[in-house]
Amino acid sequence: MATATKDGLESDIVKFISQCRKKEHPESYLIAVLHKVQEKYGYLSQDHMNEVAQRLQVPTSTVSGVATFYHFFRLRPRGKYAISVCLGTACFVKGADKVLNAFQTELGIEMGETTADGLFSLENTRCLGVCALAPVVTINDTVYSKVTANQVPELIRQVKSGKNVEG
Amino acid sequence: MGQAFDFYQILFDQHNHAYEASGEKDKIIIQVGAATCEIAAGADPVAREFEKLIQASGRKDILLKRVGCTGRCAREPVVGVFVPGGMPVKYEQVTLAKVQTIFQTHLQQGQPVAELMLDKKTGKFYEYVVILCSSGQCSPSGGKQLETKLRSRLHARGVDPQSIRLFHGGCMGLCPAGSKGKQRVMMVFPEKILYLFHNDQELDEIIDLQFARHQTAEKYITHADFITEQFFRLYGDVAFFNKQTRLTLRNSGLVDPESLSDYIRNKGYEALARVLDGDPGFVIDEITRSGLRGRGGGGFPTGVKWKNARTYSNDPIRYVVCNADEGDPGAFMDRSALEGDPYIIIEGMTIGGFAVGAQRGYLYVRAEYPLAIKRLEMAIENAGKHQLLGKNIMNSGFDFDLEIRLGAGAFVCGEETALMYSIEGKRGQPRIRPPYPTQAGLWGHPTVINNVETWANVPTIMLFGADWFSRLGTEKSKGTKVFALAGKVNNTGLVEVPMGTTLRDIIEDIGGGIPNGKQLKAIQTGGPSGGCIPASRIDTPVDYENLAAIGSIMGSGGMIVLDEDDCMVATAKFFLEFTQSESCGKCVPCREGTLRMLEILERITCGKGTHEDLDKLERLGRLIQKTSLCGLGQTAPNPVLSALENFREEFIQHIDEKRCAAHQCQQLIRYEIDAEKCVGCTLCARRCPVSCISGKAKEVHVIDQDKCIKCGECYNVCKFDAVMKN
Ligand SMILES: Cc1cc2nc3c(=O)[nH]c(=O)nc-3n(C[C@H](O)[C@H](O)[C@H](O)COP(=O)(O)O)c2cc1C
Ligand code: SF4
Ligand code: SF4
Ligand code: SF4
Ligand code: FES
């Protein structure tokens, strides 16, 4: 059985793909496989997508077609700290746009970008389902509720100094 | 009873015995929530702290239990302390410091801590808490009359009415056929007794025994099995809850969502057992007769859909699908349901699978809900181990399996044809219907797609019957609906009410009104496919027909409350931005049309709009509605059109006066410095990102309006309130 080549997919993902190949409608597991790849590597690199295509036996064009269609998939690496501002309705009504502006000003990047030092990237989500705590920001897996624009500089300082958030 | 029911009884007895043997019933239970929202509010450390204290105290009679979300989001983390035989006590916004107090005072010394209790800021203890059912079934003429009667009779009998806290509760689902207006139901705490009475004389007897002599009026106690019983027993004394009727959420916040045993002991799997011993056609008839309609937005009759799938062809392969994509960006009903009680969805789908003749079901869950996914995975595995999924379910010979498929952040995948492509591993672009999924669904086979909440209703209907279910709700909308109440309302959270409940009841009584004494402006329902209901329509009863009549839709249950600080133009633009960016791009009206509409709205919010723009918006909107391929495009203009219809003067204000009264449209705000108040501290000038504030230290500062980018920084930083926002 194939184990991982130097830059190739690691063996647990390779194993998952070969399990999928044995099931009914193997090609239907493409999205599940891409989720696993992104979870492991943080994003979908071209090499990894090619390898997925080859191992799952679906055309490369299908893989990239799917990867680009769904917003959840990232085609570029994200920063060490991924800041995600919820722009769902409840958060919007409670001023999430101002929070987002504050992050953009403070970090000097736009939505979807990563700071030059690779430390922060700025993303958005549409409703994490905790609307009652709006506006909500997540930094990696930590959820911050009722965030105001004024708190943003301090929040970034805290994260930089390694407090509160797992890297 | 048949094979499956025998299987069920053995299963139930097993779990019940294990429960009795564990002695849990006689223990003090500390309940801490374990849903995403509770965890975000800090429930995990709170639970750990309780655990530590229990251990350190060496007390074996206290048990910590993690449960799903009760829906009281604004007060999370909520902790329940249930002492056998005592009044159920719930604490709100519990912090680590409060854990210490609660543990020392309540658990060690037996004194509940009044000032930390949920919604009981008064700190007053009542001898009794009484909930009068004030639903349309029990009190066709409203509950106030009975309250007056009860209070005066209490008084006459020498009982201090002030020693009793009285609530008007929602339907407990106890009403048999033909009972309308003929019987009354009242629950009494701390005994948690349920009285059923028919006339004043009976009421007097209850008052005499229960409140004057502190005995129970055995004769009027009902032991009827009712679905919301457990919920009422634990939460009935809190106003936020007792106005609700929890059918689909009946276990959320009560059971450990990871425990199959808890579910089984709370009527779980009884419905499936009864169904499997019978005929699939009977299930379809019951669901049809119950009047259940799809809760995902469209409101299509569920029984009809099932029948279509079953009878379309004699294809031996069929599927059922649960739509848990929950795309409305301001809604969290389905997440709470999945996290709080995953088994009820699984049981519902298994019943549905049996009814339509499916062998396999898929749960399509959005990837943004990791905890819901984890709970479902666990529940599916557990159900499989107990022969509740897989081969020969409950010895009935029926084979059925479930699989989870993850979404990947595309709103359009909530649309049923797109969803099926996504399950098949493709790009989720909708296709033209017909053929409908019930004709040609997954891999071309007949497929039933229903929403999470629709599935969650199924076991309850099969257990209590179509007749019972159809007595709840209005003529054409039966049962209950869950709403995710958010925005400018005090009690944000999850609310399940009978169809036909008015918006006022939901927002004022359950929601506790608008915070900070502000004025209600509008209620947004249906998310990006819905509309804004003006405050003047607050007495509208909520059901599919009524909401459609006032230009909105029921939608999946998002309900966002807007107050005077919300700009309707900006809100409409927000929704359109959302649908625009989520358009899959397959057809021109949706892809290009929404972009044009958005450009116009952009102009208006910058003060550059014209009156023709409003006509253009309307024309474009109608065109997009008529010519788009799928529901996303067909409904995308709704928020804009309904805002134009109900709040046209606000658009005109933006155009003519270049003013946004709600101060939300940044480009229309003017920041100015009040010469009287400015002390010249220079802070604003130093903070202004474009350096457009000038002035010497200790002198009045001035903003250069041409350069100002309206970022609001000066307004935020000035410590002397000298910067004005106009
Ligand atoms: C753009 C779009 C998004 C949708 N999103 C959802 C959703 O998130 N959840 C859902 O249950 N239904 C959603 N629907 C409705 C589904 O297409 C479908 O009608 C529904 O799942 C059927 O189940 P029901 O009859 O139980 O409501 C959406 C429809 C459209 C057009
Ligand atoms: S209406 Fe919009 S979302 Fe639907 S198919 Fe057309 S472009 Fe795609
Ligand atoms: S911050 Fe306020 S007081 Fe200070 S200079 Fe600016 S306007 Fe004047
Ligand atoms: S609003 Fe922003 S840009 Fe305008 S004066 Fe104030 S700080 Fe400067
Ligand atoms: S809108 Fe932000 S969490 Fe729901």
Q: Are residues A43 and A105 in the same domain?
A: no
Residue B276 has pLDDT above 90, yes or no: yes
The answer to whether the CB of B671 is under 6 A from ligand 4 is yes
CATH number, domain of A85, equals 3.40.30.10
Boundary residue ending a domain (A69, A89, A119): A69
Do A59 and A103 lie in one domain? The reply is no
Are the C-beta atoms of residues B704 and B694 closer than 8 Å to each other?
Answer: yes
Q: Return the residue of A nearest to B426 by Cα.
A: A66
Count of structural domains within chain A: 2
b/e sequence A16-25, b meaning 16+ C-beta within 10 Å: bbeebeeeee
Beta pairing partners, B520: B563
Got the DSSP string for B514-528? -GGGPPEEEEEESGG
B410 — contact with chain A (CB < 8 Å)? Answer: yes
The answer to whether position A6 is within a domain reads no
Q: Which residues from A are below 8 Å from B423, CB to CB?
A: 28
10-residue averages of pLDDT along chain A (167 residues): 62 97 96 96 95 97 96 92 92 90 92 92 84 88 88 92 60
Domain assignment present for A3: no
What integer pLDDT is reported at residue A127 of this predicted model? 79
The complex scores an ipTM of: 0.92
Pair A86, A50 in one domain: no
Calculate how far, in angstroms, residue B720's C-alpha sits from the geometric centre of ligand 4: 16
- Residue A88: list chain B partners with CB under 8 A: 329-330
Contact B630 CB / ligand 1 (< 6 Å): yes
Q: Could you tell me the domains of chain B?
A: 22-67+79-116 (3.40.30.10), 128-237 (3.40.30.10), 267-331+342-465 (3.40.50.11540), 480-566 (3.10.20.600), 569-656 (1.20.1440.230), 670-725 (3.30.70.20)
Question: B226 pLDDT exceeds 80?
Answer: no
Shortest Cα distance, chain A CAs vs residue B460, angstroms: 25
pLDDT-based confidence at B160, cuts 50/70/90?
A: confident
Phi, psi of B399 (to 5 degrees): -105, 130
- For residue B573, what are its two tokens? 């633009």
Least confident of A148-162, B211-225, B343-357: B211-225
Beta strands in B1-139 (DSSP E): 28-33, 62-67, 79-82, 89-91, 128-133
Q: Tell whether A98 and A129 lie within a shared domain.
A: yes
Quote the pLDDT of residue B501: 94
Helix (H, G, I), strand (E, B) or coil at B703: strand
- Report the first-to-last Cα separation within chain B, whole angstroms: 74
Asked if A31 and B408 come within 8 Å (Cβ–Cβ), the reply is yes
Q: Please, which residues have CB within 8 angstroms of residue A154's CB and are 6 or more apart in sequence? A: none
The tokens describing A150, both together, are 């004024």
Q: Which residues contact B357 (CB under 8 A, 6 or more apart)?
A: B280, B310, B318
Judge if A53 and A92 occupy the same domain. Answer: no
- Containing structural domain, residue A24: 11-69
In angstroms, the CA B400 to CA B380 distance is 11
Judgement on whether residues A25 and A64 belong to the same structural domain of the protein: yes
Whether A110 and A51 share a structural domain: no
Longest dimension (CA), chain B: 91
Report the pLDDT averaged over residues B109-117.
Answer: 89
Give A77's DSSP letter: P
pLDDT digits (tens, 9 = 90+) for B361-401: 999 999 989 999 999 999 999 999 999 999 999 999 999 99
A59: CATH:
1.10.10
Instruction: Dump pLDDT digits (tens) for B602-649.
Output: 999 999 999 999 999 999 999 999 999 999 999 999 999 999 999 999
What is the pTM for the complete model shown? 0.91
Statement: residue B257 has pLDDT above 70: yes
Distance CA B479, CA B456 (A): 12
Q: Does A55 share its domain with A121?
A: no
Q: Do A94 and A146 fall within a single domain?
A: yes
Examine the domain organization and report whether A26 and A46 are in the same domain: yes
Q: How many CB pairs under 8 A join A and B?
A: 141
Mutate to test the pocket of ligand 4, among B667, B688, B691 (most ligand atoms within 8 A of CB): B688
Q: Does residue A85 share a domain with residue A157? A: yes
Query: What is each CA distance from B519 to A68, B492, B534, B639, B665, in whole angstroms?
Result: 44, 17, 12, 21, 19
Q: For residue B326, which residues of chain A lie inside 8 Å, CB to CB?
A: 127, 129
- What contacts B713, CB < 8 A, 6 or more positions away? B684, B687, B688, B689
Answer yes or no: do A65 and A87 share one domain.
Answer: no
Chain A within 8 Å of B716 (Cβ-Cβ)? yes
Nearest to A31, CA basis, from B296, B418, B338: B418
Q: How far apart are CA B11 and CA B388, in angstroms?
A: 10
A147 domain-assigned:
yes
Judge contact between B23 and B61, C-beta under 8 A: no
pLDDT in tens, B479-535: 999 999 999 999 888 899 999 999 999 999 899 999 999 999 999 999 999 999 999
